[in-house]
Structure 1
Amino acid sequence: MAVQHARRNGPLALAFNAVVIAFMLAPLLVVCAVAFTPENTLSLPTTRWSLRWFEAVFAHPDFVQSFWNSLWLALASATLATAVAVPAGLALARHRFPGRDALNGLFLSPLVVPHLVLGVALLRLFGLVGGTGSFGWLVLAHALVIAPYVLRLVLAALVGFDRSVEQAAEALGAGPMTVFCRITLPMILPGVSGGWLLAFINSFDEVTMSIFVTAPSTVTLPVRMYMYATESIDPMMAAVSALMVAVTALAMVVLDRLVGLDRVLVGKA
């Protein structure tokens, strides 16, 4: 039987892809380059390179505090979203019950609803329950927004899952919790860990919804950048942006090593 080889992209397709990638990466590269300028204004090209504005970022107490707020918020909300999405994914993937499709749509609805609308709605809700400015309620808000990312990867990891190993463990007397902790979870761990990391990235970078639900003591780094940009524009903003790009890129590299970016993008595991 003859082996069919996949067609390779032609020169025009490769050139088009290169132009699209360059168009998408050019703003990031410019921002990162501006971050190393010693000048007081956003200017390129520069004849000298300096870490002046990175030092200014670490010496700025508001930015440092906002960074830690974003870090702890992303860690807590990603963990909470994963704790909810894993059992929800198991229920949706393995059981057929009335309202299953509606429940699945409800879990994925934050991907469709604009974050501006979510921010206004959550601000009103927090005002009614007295949770305005609370870090715990902020964690719940972020977990609501990022839970669909975890759920998608958990569902993808469960596609084609061979349950014979679980059934063998149950036949040997293992309880439901033992089966889950020692068999099910390790087998879907790449999808779970990849979903957690993707949720962490989205929580760390979230700004639109966070503007409405943060308080002065819980301002996140993206919100701090937005507030600073309304007052002045200088290379320190570029330095903060470059640091966020570096953190996000590092997280994406880890995500690629854990589950593969191709699986994340196509929703398959």
Structure 2
Amino acid sequence: MQRNGPIALAFHSLVVVFMLAPMVVVCLVAFTPENTLAMPWNGLSLRWFKAVFHHADFMSSFGNSVRLALLSATISTVFAVPAALAITRYDFRGREALNALFLSPLIIPHLVLGVAFLRLFSLMGMGGSFGWLVATHAIVVTPYTLRLILASLTSMDRNAENAARTLGAAEWTVFRRITMPLMLPGVSGGWLLAFINSFDELTMSIFVTSPSTVTLPVRMYMYASESIDPMMAAVSTLMIALATITMIILDRLFGLDRLLVGKG
């Protein structure tokens, strides 16, 4: 064990460097003053960040992604809370099937989901609607919300709830004053995780967006297919910063270690 310690540490360090190196390079390139993808050896510049904020298409797509992520994360949370309560608190026929149904978007490739939703909306004549785009994203991000809420409920001490009922509190009062505050870290963390996954979703969004509902990841894909310049690195850096801030908030509210193991 003593001999393997330094080897394991070196291996883990290499894995971390391998994972972080591409993001570090992209972030550095975003500060280049040059017109091509190059490291900022001649000094740092905010030129390409300014270009992003002055690019009408990128700003419009950013607004679409923010609205989409806010709505889809909220809708998924609204459905995940009662579903998690039912799965953890009640024993009924089909409980495992219900849990599997809500978590199934995790194992179905988003390419398959995108093609399926595109075909469905075409048959219904509802293609290009922002409302249907919100619905598809809510379906995709619900497993993330549900998982954290399930973890929160599983680790919850129910003695306070039982004591309140013994003292004559109504079920709604118990839920509002005790259950919800105790599960709030899981609800908040699930909402944040759903938000960032919706904001970053690309594969499925390509199939269900329209010219008026193009999201930021789709806009980046379209822009990259036409030209490659440091503006893409600047947009990527902003998205990395947003994801990092969200994960920091998620860690403070719920704990990333609890998220990764899926239990309290």
User: How much has 1:244 moved relative to structure 2?
Assistant: 0.4
Stretches of 4+ aligned residues off by more than 6 angstroms:
none
User: How much has 1:45 moved relative to structure 2?
Assistant: 5.5
| 2:250 aligns with one of 210, 233, 255 | 255
Describe the superposition over 1:52-103 as per-residue Cα deviations: whole angstroms up to 9, x where unpaired: 1111100000000111111111111001001100110010111111111111
Aligned counterparts, 1:1-269, within 5 A: 10-44=5-39, 46-269=41-264
Describe the superposition over 1:5-58 as per-residue Cα deviations: whole angstroms up to 9, x where unpaired: xx9x81111111110000000000000000011111112352221111111100
1:4 maps to which residue?
none
Supply the AA of the counterpart residue of 1:239: A
Supply the AA of the counterpart residue of 1:197: L
1:3 maps to which residue?
none
Supply the AA of the counterpart residue of 2:58: F
User: How much has 1:163 moved relative to structure 2?
Assistant: 2.1
Distance 2:57 2:95 in 1: 45
User: How much has 1:104 moved relative to structure 2?
Assistant: 0.9
Distance 1:252 1:19 in 2: 23
Which ranges in structure 1 are unaligned for 5 or more consecutive residues?
1-6
Asked if 1 retains the 8 angstrom alpha-carbon contact of 2:31 and 2:40, the reply is: no
Distance 1:177 1:217 in 2: 42
Tell me the TM-score normalised to structure 2 length: 0.96
Tell me the TM-score normalised to structure 1 length: 0.94
User: How much has 1:166 moved relative to structure 2?
Assistant: 1.6
User: How much has 1:131 moved relative to structure 2?
Assistant: 2.2
Deviates more, 1:9-18 or 1:64-73: 9-18
Distance 1:149 1:186 in 2: 20
Deviates more, 1:18-27 or 1:175-184: 175-184
Deviates more, 1:164-173 or 1:225-234: 164-173
Supply the AA of the counterpart residue of 2:86: A
Supply the AA of the counterpart residue of 1:259: F
Distance 1:67 1:157 in 2: 32
Distance 1:103 1:18 in 2: 41
The percent identity for this pair of structures is 69
